[in-house]
């Protein structure tokens, strides 16, 4: 396990990030994270689905537009208000995953991409128990978590450059990074049976360089990346394949976990 520290707390980071970009359009590319995995987890239009940490809404809006029964929450009120301004009929609320107002045994499927790694150990355990509480027996959970590996170490090393002079005491907890074993143990301890943990590339390290980005992605545009996926050029894809081929666990940036409430 490794913790990432930054100049701002995780909550301040998300508040700022969602303020800086417009509401998400529904994600378009079903071959990329996270939609690819969400589609595998959702069984039918009769499922009552919860998106935990829905952010600016790319996944929530995808399912809502297709007539699925989906609800969502996020602890950033600004993001929830932006979603409601775009569509007042969306079932979204401002909530914190560590203490939810939903009734027990409510959902058939929970999607939680990039949420749990914003929490430290004690709150992470609380959040997993709270997720479990609102799920029906045998309901499915699909969640992603930051991997404790070389790629994220390099990412953090580069991102920390502007505040490397700061003393550790001035820095704030930002994200948790776990190995696949630690991730499985955390969810098993919280009442889940874990069926799969896959190493997945959300934003490849190579995407940081304009040279390796796909045509149309040369100028960094977060909304486009969120909608289409962070796409690489043919040469970028080739290098990426080599890295992933060498070590999928060191060159992914997240793990996607499939689990079931026992």
Binding region for ligand SAM (CB under 6 A) out of 69-77, 160-168, 175-183, 242-250: 69-77
Contacts of 181 (CB under 8 A, 6+ apart): none
Residues 117 and 14: beta-carbon distance below 8 Å: no
Q: How far is the CB of 68 from ligand SAM (least distance, A)?
A: 15
User: Which one among 50, 97, 206, 259 touches ligand SAM, defined by CB under 6 A?
Assistant: 97
Q: How far is the CB of 245 from ligand SAM (least distance, A)?
A: 26
Binding region for ligand SAM (CB under 6 A) out of 1-9, 90-98, 150-158, 235-243: 90-98
Is the Cβ of residue 208 or residue 239 nearer to ligand SAM in the bound state? 208
Q: Which helix (H) or strand (E) holds 250?
A: helix 248-251
Q: Taking CB under 6 A as the rule, does residue 141 contact ligand SAM?
A: no
Residues 148 and 182: beta-carbon distance below 8 Å: yes
Q: Taking CB under 6 A as the rule, does residue 229 contact ligand SAM?
A: no
User: Which one among 6, 37, 42, 58 touches ligand SAM, defined by CB under 6 A?
Assistant: 58
CA-nearest of 144, 118, 244 to 198 is 144
* Cα gap 154→21, rounded to integer Å: 26
User: Which one among 114, 190, 199, 204 touches ligand SAM, defined by CB under 6 A?
Assistant: 114
User: Which one among 74, 108, 130, 148 touches ligand SAM, defined by CB under 6 A?
Assistant: 74
Q: Which two tokens stand for residue 34?
A: 């996270």
Binding region for ligand SAM (CB under 6 A) out of 110-118, 183-191, 207-215, 251-259: 110-118
User: DSSP letter at 226?
Assistant: H
Residue 71: strand, helix, or coil? strand
Strand boundaries in the chain, DSSP class E? 2-6, 48-52, 69-74, 91-94, 107-112, 135-146, 172-177, 192-200, 254-261
User: Which one among 62, 63, 107, 113 touches ligand SAM, defined by CB under 6 A?
Assistant: 113
Binding residues vs ligand SAM (CB under 6 A): 14, 34, 53-55, 58-59, 74-76, 79, 96-98, 113-115, 118
């Amino acid at each position: 396990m490794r913790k990432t520290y930054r100049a701002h707390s995780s909550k301040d980071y998300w508040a700022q990030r969602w303020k800086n970009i417009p509401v998400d359009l529904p994600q378009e590319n079903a071959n990329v994270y996270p939609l690819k995995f969400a589609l595998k987890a959702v069984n039918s239009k009769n499922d009552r689905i919860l998106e935990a940490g829905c952010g600016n809404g790319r996944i929530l809006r995808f399912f809502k537009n297709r007539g699925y029964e989906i609800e969502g929450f996020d602890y950033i009120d600004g993001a929830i208000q932006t979603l409601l301004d775009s569509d007042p009929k969306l079932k979204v609320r401002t909530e914190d995953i560590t203490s939810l107002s939903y009734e027990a045994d409510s959902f058939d499927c929970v999607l939680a991409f990039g949420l749990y790694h914003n929490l430290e150990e004690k709150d992470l355990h609380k959040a997993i128990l709270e997720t479990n509480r609102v799920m029906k027996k045998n309901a499915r959970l699909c969640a992603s978590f930051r991997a404790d590996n070389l790629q994220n170490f390099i990412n953090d090393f580069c991102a920390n450059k502007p505040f490397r002079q700061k003393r550790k005491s001035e820095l704030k907890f930002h994200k948790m990074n776990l190995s696949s074993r630690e991730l499985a143990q955390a969810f098993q301890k919280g009442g889940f049976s874990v069926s799969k943990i896959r190493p997945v590339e959300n934003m490849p390290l190579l995407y940081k360089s304009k040279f390796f980005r796909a045509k149309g992605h040369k100028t960094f545009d977060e909304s486009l990346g969120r909608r289409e996926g962070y796409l690489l050029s043919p040469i970028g894809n080739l290098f990426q394949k080599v890295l992933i081929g060498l070590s999928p666990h060191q060159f992914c940036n997240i793990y996607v976990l499939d689990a079931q409430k026992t």
